[in-house]
Structure formats: structure tokens, C-alpha cells
Chain A
Amino acid sequence: MEKIKILLVDDDPDFADQMLFYLNKFGYDTMYLPSQRSAESRLKDIQFDLAILDLMMEEDDSGLQLARKIKANSPEIPIILLTAITNETGYSFSQEFKNSPELLPIDKYCEKGIRPDVLNKIIEQLITIKK
């Protein structure tokens, strides 16, 4: 069986290190890009089965902008948006958009402190839905 390939876009290299470590440990192929800009410039020539995007990079909504671009070309690719903001601000995307999920190009929101095993569960779920 082909390994599942996950694209990670996050501007915090230390957080990315840890994520990549666990994703690899769970048996995924990974590809990492450090910014919205670098991801946009590569989107055309890379292939992946699922994307994990940080919400706030160059812009406050970089992750959303990227997600829109990915879904425009490949609507079938599941996207997980990582936010580090709920804990600080109380602002929660999943609540904000729970009434209109179809408006948003996101399959799942996660807090950045998410337990690796829980994240893996979410990935597995998104991948099987897709199949």
C-alpha cells in the first residue's frame, strides 16, 4: 500500500519539528513548508493526500487562504486547520462556523496543543471518509 502523504504548513519550526516527528512515527509520508507564501508557490507541483495548515502565519488567516486555494483545485483533499488562538482569546472557529460549515474549506479545526494520538485518529477518520 502506498503511504499517505501529508503536507504540513506552519511558520513555527519547533512546532513543525514535533509534528513531523509524530506524523512520521504514525507512518505517514510528510512534506513541510514554512509559510503561506512558500506553500502557494509550490502548490502546483506537489502532491499530497491531506493538508495540516497553521491558521496564523504571514496573515491572521493565512491557513484559510491556503485552504481555499487547495480546495479550489482539489476539493477532495481533507484539510485540518491548526489554531493556537482559542486558548488565548476564547475565540473558536469551530463555534463561529458551526452553522455554515459548507462555507469553509476546512474539514477539521484543532487546537495546537492537541494530543498526537488524537490528531492521528482525526487524520484516519478524514482519510477513510474520503475513500
Chain B
Amino acid sequence: MKYNVLIVDDEEGIRMAIKRALNNYHIDFPFLDESIEIDVYEAESAERALEILRDTPMDIILLDNKLPGMQGIDIMPYINEHYPDIKILIITSFASLDIALEATKHGAFDFIPKPFTPGELKNAIETATKQIYLNNILKDMDREARKIRFKFLSILSHELKTPINTLEGYMMMMKEKQLGPNIDNYMDLIDKMINKLDDMRALIMDLLDFTNLNSDKTIGEKEFLSLKDVINFCVDSQRPLAIQKSISFDIDIKSPLTFFASKNEMEILFNNLINNSIKYNKNNGKVIIKGEETDSSIIIKIKDTGIGIAPDDLSKIFDEFYRSAEAKSRRLSGTGLGLSIVKRMIELYNGTIDVASKLNEFTEFTIILPKNNNSNQAIN
């Protein structure tokens, strides 16, 4: 796919610099199979730009604010009227930023303050390109699946980019020595950067679980397992975390809870739930796990005495990437993927998961796994 970009600037130096920056520039979107290439055209005046527009369709115009003859701003209404799909980016010196801000009210898509780096230029072009692409697909997109894929991937790229932006922000502060020349002043900031990196690592691990899940393949072989053993194993592996917050476990499982499943998957499932019950608990809190079985199903309850979940959030916590405001504002790190993995996993085994909670008092997850799910029947 190719998009045409027209540079309108009377200074040859600027036109050259922009051309150089955009030379061989491709834009890749996570939701697009092919990348977008940019073809660059140039005009040294507004009048010349209008001539070119008559012959060649453009997608983006980089419009210098100050031109000899007709001004950039003067031709905007004309372009908007005759070529409404073209995105106009105003190039402006920092001093006349006010004019540029004004221009965005009258149809300019965005502005690029001079002097700009090639990175800033590309960023602005990327944003405009995505806008154009989105407009185009919205025109002919009715396939639900594509929409969902689009939504998931755009949230995903958001989740991946946010921590990168945060890291970049902190690094810029260091590079510009915003806190003075002494490295000791930056320790707090460096700790935050390290935490962000840990978050990103966790996100990548969760994503690997998540994409595995969607590939319809079981992670590991299925076998007859004792879920009681699996749960005890998960509790043990998370005990260090619990000890930090002086959280105690109260586990009441009488029978072995035999279930035909992949051990890996069951560990991912219970690790996520138990991890949440510690992470969202209070100091000196409790985690109460009960397990029992009937002829047809296994019922497991995991309850904690933690921060709870607001009624409005209850329906959302199983959504991909959803995290409650409480979770985020307490700086409890997480990806928001855990429960969506848990839910999908349980559904693969034809089970159900429900949650009950009272803010600031408790949260209880109830899992019901049918023993006679397809895979179990196949063996029995």
C-alpha cells in the first residue's frame, strides 16, 4: 500500500531534510499485514501545491505556515472543501504555535513545531496514516471478526507502547538532567524504570500464555491430575509473596479432586487466581481455598479478605487488559490479562467461573469444572 505525501515549503533545505527523513520509511501496523510506503512530492509555494493536487491524489500534506504569496492557512479551506480526505499537518516555528493551534480548529489534522527531529516527523505522519487507514476500513468494514481483531491488537499495542513511553519519558528527564547533575537524585526514578521493565516482562509472559491459548492447542499433554496437588503446588510457589504481606492460607480440600486436564494449564489457572488473592489482599489478610466434588463436577472456591472489587467493575475484570482503578492507583503491578486467561481456560474445559465481592472486605471466585467434559468422556 502506498500513501502520497506532499511537502509544501519554500525553503529547499527543509524540503530536502524531510525527504531524507522519509526516504525508505515504512509504516507497520500490528493490525495490517502489509506495510505502508510513503511517496514524497514537493511544492515550493501554495500555488504550486494546488497545481500538483489537480493531477496527483494526495493523502497527507505537510504545509509550511509561512509561504511567499498565498499563505498555508489560506489554502486550507480550499483543500478541505475539494479534497476532504487529505490530512494536513502544519509545519510551524515554535513562535507561531498559537496560529497552528488555531489552524487545527479549522481543519488541520495536527501541527509539527519547528525545529523537529526525524522521529517527531515520522510520528506525526504515522498518526495521520493510521487515521486515514482507519477511515478507509471503517467505510467497508463489516466483518465482525476483523473488528474484534482490530480492537484486540490496538489495545495490545497500546499496552506495549505505554510502558515504553513511560521509560522514554524518564530517560528524557535523565538526559536533560532535569533533577540536576547528581546521579543520586535519580535513584527514585531509576527504581520506577526497573519496575516498569518488570511489568513489561510480566506482560510478555502473560501474552505468551494468551496466544498459546488462542491457538486451540493444549499447552502440554492431558492426564489425570489431582487438582488438590496442583493447588497446593501453586500455594507453595507463591508463599514467598504471601509472607511479605503476612498473609495466611486456610486450605480445606478433602478429596484429591481428580480431573483430566493439562497440568500446565491447571497451574496457569490456579497461579493466576492465587496470585491475585495475595496481591489484592491486605497485610495480615487471609486466603481461604475450599474444594469439593459431586458426581458430576468439581467445585473450587478461592476467597480473600482483600481490597475487594467495586460492583461496576465485576463484569469487566475478565476482559483482556482490564484493571480496576483501585489496582492501578495502589501501584500494584499487573497486566490485566490474568483473569481473561483464566476464564478462557475454564471455558476450554466447559466450566464456569463466578465472582462475588464486597469493596474493602472480600473477593470470592467460584470455579465449577464438569467431570464429564468431552475430553474426560473420551477417556472414561
Interface residues of A (CB under 8 A from B): 11-15, 17-18, 21, 25, 34-38, 57-58, 84-92, 94-95, 98, 101, 108, 111-113, 115, 117-118, 121-122, 125
Contacts and interface: CB of A to CB of B under 8 A. Distances in A.
B53 interface: no
Given A21-B173, A90-B134, A125-B101, A12 B328 contact: yes
A79 B101 CA distance: 15
Contact of A89 (B129, B130, B178, B196): B130
Interface in B52-107: 94, 97-98, 101, 104-105, 107
Contact of A98 (B107, B165, B310, B313): B107
B109 interface: yes
Interface string B157-192: 110011001100110010000100000000000001
B154 A18 contact: no
Given A18-B173, A87-B127, A125-B98, A58 B325 contact: yes
B197 to A, nearest CB: 12
B332 to A, nearest CB: 11
A101 B135 CA distance: 20
A17 B192 CA distance: 10
Contacts of A88: 130, 154-155, 157-158, 161
Nearest to A91: B134
Interface of B: 94, 97-98, 101, 104-105, 107, 109, 113, 123, 126-127, 129-135, 154-155, 157-158, 161-162, 165-166, 169-170, 173, 178, 192, 196, 310, 312-313, 324-325, 328-329, 331
Contacts of B169: 14-15, 18
A91 B158 CA distance: 13
B154 A58 contact: no
A57 B133 CA distance: 26
Contacts of B331: 13
Nearest to B135: A90
Nearest to A19: B169
Nearest to B109: A95
6 nearest A-B pairs in the assembled complex, by CB-CB distance? A90-B130, A90-B134, A35-B325, A34-B329, A89-B154, A90-B131
A35 B220 CA distance: 41
Given A11-B329, A90-B127, A122 B101 contact: yes
Contact of B166 (A18, A101, A121, A125): A18
Nearest to A11: B328
B325 A118 contact: no
Given A90-B127, A115-B113, A118-B97, A11 B166 contact: no
8 contacts: A11-B328, A14-B169, A14-B196, A34-B328, A84-B161, A95-B109, A111-B127, A121-B94
Q: Is the interface of A mostly helix, strand, loop or mixed?
A: helix
Given A89-B134, A95-B131, A14 B97 contact: no
A84 B131 CA distance: 14
B27 to A, nearest CB: 11
Contacts of A17: 192
A5 B265 CA distance: 51
Given A57-B325, A90-B131, A95-B131, A18 B162 contact: no
A98 B324 CA distance: 32
Contact of A13 (B161, B173, B328): B328
A64 B188 CA distance: 33
Nearest to B170: A18
A113 B135 CA distance: 22
B165 A112 contact: yes
B127 A84 contact: no
B178 A113 contact: no
A111 B113 CA distance: 14
A101 B154 contact: no
A12 B166 contact: yes
Contacts of B155: 88
A86 B130 contact: yes
A80 to B, nearest CB: 12
Contacts of B130: 86-90
A66 to B, nearest CB: 13
A90 B325 CA distance: 26
Contact of B131 (A34, A92, A122): A92
Given A94-B104, A117-B94, 4 more contacts: A12-B166, A58-B325, A87-B127, A118-B97
